[in-house]
């Protein structure tokens, strides 16, 4: 009997939980996993379906029950496309002097097995050299393993920052649905990995320039939460991730995509000073508006002081963090 060492620290426990969530909703537990369940039905994220995939009755009924009163027909179509997505991608900024980068796409395909397990996974990787030349044209490159899978990318001039170039890159499943039960037209657990060449740090940290090209309601919400955080790209139906240890002078040598973003939020500690701001007895016995103002205004001023102090502390942390990475 093999004993498995359980996580003990807060960080280890968090990593363990995140990994288990990923294994269960996206997969795989290994590149060549053998499973006894249909991956199309078991995994519900990180799957690219044929681009003409029709939702079955059960899917449509489920989506219909989740819509609110304000959903329009267009919104419903959007949700259906999101649920059975056929593409994903990212937008990032590249140094202007960069001549070429490499895009690696890793993914899995499943097939039925005659062994004890019912489905086998086969791991694939495709590499595409990308010349960084501003044309504005949409360019495509097809997978060797399956020409119906392809990447589509566009390189723009960055009008707000002449030191960088804007790159948009997508992975697309161009298959047409023929048999709903077939797995060979599906792409599982795809990942985009963009690499600098010759030890260069080609990718620039500057998400505010990207905002001018594409910003949805969800993007604005994330911007509010993580406005002062380092960012090296914007994901489309996915998230962009990187190794913080590799950041150098606001640049990095590699970025990738994930369907399970794990950005840590700031732990906000409450003020340790306790005051009787909302004494209901005092408030109930106020005789004038001025008396009420005098009771409530300390809450407003102290809150302003507390939130300003937190902002200063966070900015100081970010400043020292960036200095350490130089």
Q: Give the tens place of pLDDT for each residue, 71-100.
A: 444 444 444 444 689 999 999 999 999 999
Rounded Cα gap, residues 317 and 294, in angstroms: 36
pTM: 0.75
**Residue 301 exposed, middle or buried by CB count within 10 Å (0-12, 13-18, 19+):** exposed
Per-residue confidence (pLDDT) for residue 216, from 0 to 100 = 57
Per-residue confidence (pLDDT) for residue 221, from 0 to 100 = 52
Q: To the nearest whole percent, how much of the chain has pLDDT over 90?
A: 53
Strand segments, DSSP code E, in 184-298 are: 187-196, 203-204, 234-236, 239-241, 251-252, 254-258
Per-residue confidence (pLDDT) for residue 273, from 0 to 100 = 78
Q: Are 81 and 59 in contact (CB under 8 A)?
A: no
Closest CA to 84 of 40, 36, 39, 29: 40
Closest CA to 100 of 140, 142, 126, 129: 129
**Secondary structure of residue 242 in the 3-state scheme:** coil
Per-residue confidence (pLDDT) for residue 64, from 0 to 100 = 42
124 vs 277, more confident: 124
Per-residue confidence (pLDDT) for residue 71, from 0 to 100 = 43
Q: Are 18 and 25 in contact (CB under 8 A)?
A: no
Domain boundaries, the chain: 10-65+85-258, 280-325
223 to 158, 207, 227: CA distances (angstroms): 20, 9, 5
Q: Give the tens place of pLDDT for each residue, 205-241.
A: 875 555 555 555 555 555 555 555 678 999 999 999 9
- Residue 290, pLDDT above cutoff 90: yes
């Amino acid at each position: 009997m093999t004993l498995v060492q359980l996580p003990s620290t807060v960080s280890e426990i968090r990593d363990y939980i995140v990994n288990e969530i990923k294994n269960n909703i996206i997969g795989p537990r290994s590149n060549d996993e053998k499973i006894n369940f249909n991956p199309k039905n078991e995994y519900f994220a990180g799957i690219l379906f044929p681009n003409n995939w029709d939702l079955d009755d059960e899917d449509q009924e489920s989506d219909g029950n989740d819509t609110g009163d304000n959903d329009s027909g267009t919104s419903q179509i959007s949700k259906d496309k999101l649920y059975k997505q056929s593409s994903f991608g990212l937008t990032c900024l590249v140094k202007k002097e960069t001549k070429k980068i490499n895009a690696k796409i890793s993914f899995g395909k499943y097939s039925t097995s005659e062994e004890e397990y019912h489905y086998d996974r086969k791991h694939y990787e495709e590499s595409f050299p990308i010349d960084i030349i501003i044309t504005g044209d949409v360019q495509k490159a097809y997978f060797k393993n399956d020409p119906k899978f392809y990447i589509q990318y566009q390189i723009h001039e960055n009008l707000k920052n002449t030191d960088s170039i804007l790159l948009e890159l997508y992975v697309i499943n161009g298959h047409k649905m023929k048999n709903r039960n077939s797995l060979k037209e599906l792409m599982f657990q795809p990942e985009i990995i963009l690499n600098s060449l010759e030890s260069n740090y080609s990718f620039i940290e500057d998400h505010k320039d990207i905002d001018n090209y594409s910003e949805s309601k969800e993007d604005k919400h994330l911007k509010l939460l993580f406005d002062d955080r380092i960012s090296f790209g914007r994901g489309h139906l996915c998230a962009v991730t990187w190794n913080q240890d590799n950041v150098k002078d606001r640049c990095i040598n590699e970025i990738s995509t994930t369907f399970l973003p794990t950005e840590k939020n700031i732990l906000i500690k409450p003020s340790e000073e306790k005051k009787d701001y909302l004494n209901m007895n005092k408030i109930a016995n106020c005789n004038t508006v001025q008396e009420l103002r005098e009771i409530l205004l300390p809450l407003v001023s102290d809150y302003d002081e507390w939130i300003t102090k937190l902002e200063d502390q966070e900015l100081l942390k970010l400043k020292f963090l960036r200095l350490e990475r130089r």
